[in-house]
Structure 1
Amino acid sequence: MKRFEDHAALITAAGSGIGAATAHRLAEEGARVLVTDIDEAAAGKVAASIREQGGTAREFACDVGDRAAVEAAVAYAVETFGRLDVLVNNACACHPDAPLFEDEDDEVWATDLDITLTGAYRCARAALPHLVASGRGAIVNIGSVNGIQDFGNHAYSAAKAGLASLTRTLAGHAGPRGVRVNLIAPGTVRTAAWAGRDEQLDTMRELYPLGRVGEPADIAAAVAFLASSDAAWVTGAVLPVDGGTTAISSGFKIMRD
């Protein structure tokens, strides 16, 4: 039996990259998946690809910065699939730092925190009653090694560290209600954000003990584990999926540059 038979999942920012790979992975294992993204056309392509491969998926436009949009996405998932068992908070915003910290912009700071941290909060708040009702609910937050060590990006890193803290506090609150909450902290992953920067990725590859940067499928596999009954006694955990980069202390400046 597939691990997610008779499960329904909602994934944010699933129109590409880690989110798309996760949608495919959960669907391959039997889940009915709501592919959400601020770009509805991108979400639609992923959902269509899943259906072409024999899976069950729908798309829905969702801006996690908008509470009404989040609540509408959750309601649509429950209405369409009859339940909600898994929430994957993947949406984030990451703007480059100003050369000097004192020149950082308030709007950039606010945007990165609102989408990356508060967006996950909005989604968890809307989904939690349904996850409780499922009797096997799981939330998997996509964090970052930036929330663990210094790799630059002040606002994004602060947001990801905050997401790890929210993971722990929500795990304590939701555990007695039957819902597990965990976080994956990826290292560098080859997504569209790195398009045209193959040379930089090659340089960064040398800094990972496992000798390569990550692929979206690496993160999707970890999501599938934490969302499944295989992780039935795991909650409040931060799981680095980073090729070993947080286990070493050299080369960080090169990674930041």
Structure 2
Amino acid sequence: MNFARRFEDHGVLITGGARGIGEATARRLAAEGARVLIADVDADQAARTAESIPGAESIGCDVADRTAVETAVAYAVERFGTLDVLVNNAFSCSPDTPLLEDQPDDTWYRDLDICLTGAFRCARAAVPHLAASGRGAIVNIGSVNAEQSFGNHAYSAAKAGLASLTRTLAADLSPRGVRVNQINPGTIRTRAWAGREAGLEALSRVYPLGRVGEPEDIAAAAAFLASRDAAWVTGTTLRVDGGLLAVNTAFAQAVGED
């Protein structure tokens, strides 16, 4: 597929970029001319992914580590001469215990640290360079869990907090020319669903558009929000969820069966 070259001469940093949504976003932005730094806690997989994307580079980075984040940002600027786009995609999603009172503190803190505080760390380190570029954009990858209950208490709370952070950062950074937006995906076919294809098939029936999402669906939205096509868009949360939150499919089916 041929794409527009909206990111020619742009430097891009994507956290959690080794697989899934992050990898698809790296491929999409690179296809549009960007030079992309894939930052991931799995440094080996990040390197393998970067090797398969023209113009991409990789670095091991744990967004829970401020020094690692600052090192990744500095490396992107050194290699590309600019940093124009930050995509905060790294996440942690811990399973809930059957009883809330058995949920340990460490899993709660980890999900918030990676999903929410990690995005803040990356933004804090990147902002001076994003502002200097004159076309800086931050795209945060959230979740429909931020808006409706789908389980995973800590992850959901973190993604809701990320939506709030998106708005406050947008307000704070707009005078410096940096736009900040969020994408809330629904169910996406990633390696987290490996071996559970039957579950994905069942889930597809509750989506008004009749399927679960693909990483490329989110990558396309990220490319829009990061580009100058969205030059007058900041502080927004864009649902890319196949209509999940707009339509109560189960209710409609139940009424239809009545």
Q: Which amino acid aligns with 2:68?
A: A
- Structure 1, unpaired ranges of 5+: 253-257
**Residue matched to 1:36:** 39
| Structure 2 residue matching 1:50: 3-state secondary structure | coil
Write the distance in 1 (CA, Å) between the matches of 2:250 and 2:181.
28
Shift of 1:45: 1.2
**Residue matched to 1:16:** 19
| Identity fraction in percent | 68
Q: How does 1:1-257 map to 2 (within 5 A)?
A: 2-51=5-54, 56-251=55-250
| Structure 1 residue matching 2:52: 3-state secondary structure | helix
Write the distance in 2 (CA, Å) between the matches of 1:94 and 1:199.
21
Q: Which amino acid aligns with 2:51?
A: A
Shift of 1:251: 4.2
- Structure 2, unpaired ranges of 5+: 252-258
| Gap change, CA 1:250 and 1:210, over 3 Å in 2 | closer
User: Deviations 1:204-235 (Å, cap 9, x if unpaired)?
Assistant: 00000000000000000000000000000000
Runs of 4+ in 1 over 4 A off after TM superposition: none
Shift of 1:174: 0.4
Shift of 1:249: 3.0
User: Deviations 1:127-155 (Å, cap 9, x if unpaired)?
Assistant: 00000000000000000000011111100
**Residue matched to 1:255:** none
Asked if the contact 2:208/2:249 (under 8 Å) is kept, the reply is no
- What is the RMSD computed on CA atoms of the aligned residues? 1.0
User: Deviations 1:59-86 (Å, cap 9, x if unpaired)?
Assistant: 1000000000000000000001001000
Write the distance in 1 (CA, Å) between the matches of 2:119 and 2:149.
22
Give the structure-1-normalised TM-score. Answer: 0.95
Write the distance in 1 (CA, Å) between the matches of 2:173 and 2:208.
36
Give the structure-2-normalised TM-score. Answer: 0.95
